[in-house]
Chain A
Amino acid sequence: MILIVAEHNNTVLNNATLHVIEAAKKLQLPIHVLVAGSKCTDVVSAAQECAGVRKVLIADNDAYAHQLAENVAKLIYQLSTEYSYILAPATCFGKDILPRVAALLDVEQISDITDIINQQTFVRPIYAGNAYATVTTSLSKNVITVRATSFPLCGSQDKCDTQAIDINIPASNTEFISINSTDTGKLPDLNSAKIVVAGGRGISSKDKFTLIQQLAEQLHAAIGASRAAVDAGFVPNDLQIGQTGKVVAPDLYIAIGISGAIQHIAGMKDSKVIVAINRDPDAPIFDIADYGLVADLFDAVPELIASLSKAERLISSE
């Protein structure tokens, strides 16, 4: 059987989990989902409705309110007996907790898989996506993190059963102090957005990044950035897309003023359609873009915004 560790904030089930559920179906074994949290009934309901889930295990306890690795790993370890696969998304959440589970079980972990060949064989990127390794396991317990963007979302189903877990493990050596969430306003979150508008060093200043903001609002897109833009202080670092930041794969990725350093490309090359707007015709981003526009972004982006809003007005007046 498969145990998937749900990522959530006690209110909303993170979409990354839905991708992991879809990936797990390739293993052709019954799927259980663990929701460890505090007052997390909405999350449990959402997990029950994920197509393919046989049962949702609920560990609802104040001790799990912030899902700290120290105690959540021990909880998963205690629940692990009947499972041959333990999966979580390869997000900051899954990456933090799952290796700790693996070490408790004395098994190695397979990180960040992008494909499942069969029950023993998996594919994962190495060297920032510059190579892909096929790995094989003969372990009876497999601890795996899954790159969410490599698998589709699961569908929905009628609610499956739940089972309450009455194990209370305090995190005695770790204390949660605070979380400062980045405010994305009305825009979607980077991890779940269908369209991402990303800006690079070419934007030239923090003030001018509002141009990216306006285009994102027009398209109801998430805002992203290259490492150069983050390092220059144009945007906070959690908007960084790339090997050392977030890996995204939206339907449409618009790279503006981004040259396309290999580290950046590793974070977005699986997007369905890539648009690049850059003044430099030799920028490497054009090698992977479906549609390239060699232009000064300060001319092209306002024109793009105007043309999209004009089209919107036409449609709404029809």
Chain B
Amino acid sequence: MRCLVAVKQVIDPYVHIRINKEQTAVIQENVKMAMNPFDEIAMEAALQFKEQGIISEVIAVSIGAPGVQETLRQALARGADKAIMVMSEKSYNPLSIAKVLAKISKQQEVDLVLMGKQAIDNDCNQTGQMLAALLDWPQATFVSKLQLESTSLIATREVDGGLETLKCKIPAVVTTDLRLNEPRVISLPNIMQAKKKPLTEISIEDMGLELNNQIATTTIQPPPKRKAGVKLNSVTELVDKLRNEAKII
């Protein structure tokens, strides 16, 4: 079974983001970047299946500017067999990304695509579902438990109010939630070894796809600030405030 894992490079989740002066973008220059945490989980899942002998090859793919190579090298250091880098200076919305991934999934003849349920930058939560639609494959989203069999997979999904379990025929798309696994720490020898693994570069323009963003972001603003309230001295005071000032209990 061949598995494609889509990994996105995002601003490191522990970095406080800054908005540019024109309020049109989040500043990306000279900011620490990282692999999207949900994609790290997807990669870990693929690697665990490979170690169990269920998956034969793990292919990492990423789309973006040259700096994205770093994230792919990291995927290789984690244990991916090869990486595909789709070079694009322009930033595309999820539908275009899904079209690129659909084309690569077919070219690479993969049976399973794994990716995070959402990227922590734009929080769209769309790409996996869109990819499944374009390929007409079944999907299991927000997965916190995954079992692979020869012709199907059993996925437990984190849904509002509980856990839902589905069985999907393979090929399929699975998007991963936080609690699926704990991604491994990369060791130094693996980083060295990763430099020898194949990383193919292709330009997004050479993919033969017509891509354009249909929805435009016009402004980006900081969230409205909530003003701090008052500090109280006792439970009695709290109950009084809630009852007589906020009139809420």
* Chain A residues engaging chain B, CB cutoff 8 angstroms: 66, 68-70, 73, 91-93, 95-104, 106-112, 121, 125-139, 171, 173-182, 189, 191, 195, 219, 237-238, 243-244, 246, 251-252, 269, 272-275, 281, 286-295, 300, 303-304, 307-308, 311
Q: Are A294 and B166 in contact (CB under 8 A)?
A: no
Q: Are A100 and B248 in contact (CB under 8 A)?
A: no
A189 and B161 alpha carbons, distance in the complex (Å): 8
Q: What is the interface size of chain B, counting residues whose CB is below 8 A from a CB of the partner? A: 77
Q: A67 CB to closest chain B CB, in angstroms?
A: 10
Across the interface, B223 reaches (CB within 8 A) one of A95, A130, A243, A295, namely A130
Q: A251 CB to closest chain B CB, in angstroms?
A: 6
Q: B212 CB to closest chain A CB, in angstroms?
A: 10
Task: Tell me the dominant secondary structure on chain B's binding face.
Answer: mixed
Q: Are B218 and A134 in contact (CB under 8 A)?
A: yes
Across the interface, A108 reaches (CB within 8 A) one of B129, B169, B215, namely B215
Q: Does B154 contact A (CB under 8 A)?
A: yes
Please, which residues of chain B bring their CB within 8 A of the CB of A293?
231-235, 238
The stretch among B131-139, B189-197, B199-207 that forms the contact with chain A is B131-139
Given contact pairs A111-B126, A127-B123, A130-B16, a sample of 8 additional A-B residue pairs in the complex whose CB atoms are under 8 Å apart: A99-B133, A103-B131, A132-B223, A173-B172, A269-B223, A287-B226, A291-B246, A311-B243
Q: List 19 A-B contacts (CB under 8 A).
A: A69-B129, A69-B132, A96-B139, A99-B128, A109-B95, A111-B126, A126-B26, A131-B17, A136-B215, A173-B137, A178-B165, A181-B161, A182-B161, A244-B178, A287-B228, A290-B230, A291-B230, A292-B231, A308-B239
Q: Which residue of B lies closest to A106 (CB)?
A: B95
Q: Are A112 and B133 in contact (CB under 8 A)?
A: no
Please, which residues of chain B bring their CB within 8 A of the CB of A109?
94-95, 124, 126, 130
* Chain B residues engaging chain A, CB cutoff 8 angstroms: 11, 16-17, 19, 26, 93-95, 98, 120-134, 137-139, 141-142, 144, 154, 157-169, 172, 177-179, 213-223, 226, 228-236, 238-239, 241-243, 246, 248-249
Across the interface, B26 reaches (CB within 8 A) one of A96, A99, A111, A131, namely A131
Which of B144, B218, B223 counts the most chain A CB atoms within 10 A? Answer: B223
Across the interface, A307 reaches (CB within 8 A) one of B141, B172, B218, B236, namely B236
- Say whether, besides A95-B125, A100-B132, A108-B95, A138 and B214 are in contact (CB < 8 Å): yes
A308 and B235 alpha carbons, distance in the complex (Å): 10
6 residue pairs, one from A and one from B, having the closest CB atoms: A290-B229, A103-B133, A99-B129, A103-B130, A99-B126, A173-B138
Q: Are A131 and B160 in contact (CB under 8 A)?
A: no
Please, which residues of chain A bring their CB within 8 A of the CB of B128?
99
Which of A97, A98, A102, A176 counts the most chain B CB atoms within 10 A? Answer: A102
Q: Are A303 and B235 in contact (CB under 8 A)?
A: yes
- Say whether, besides A108-B215, A125-B123, A181 and B26 are in contact (CB < 8 Å): no
Q: Are A126 and B166 in contact (CB under 8 A)?
A: no
Please, which residues of chain A bring their CB within 8 A of the CB of B172?
173
Across the interface, A291 reaches (CB within 8 A) one of B11, B133, B236, B242, namely B242
A121 and B219 alpha carbons, distance in the complex (Å): 11
Across the interface, A174 reaches (CB within 8 A) one of B17, B158, B168, namely B168
- Say whether, besides A99-B130, A132-B223, A237 and B123 are in contact (CB < 8 Å): no
- Say whether, besides A173-B169, A181-B162, A290 and B246 are in contact (CB < 8 Å): yes
Q: Are B214 and A96 in contact (CB under 8 A)?
A: no
Please, which residues of chain A bring their CB within 8 A of the CB of B157?
92
Which of B120, B123, B154, B230 counts the most chain A CB atoms within 10 A? Answer: B123
Please, which residues of chain B bring their CB within 8 A of the CB of A189?
161
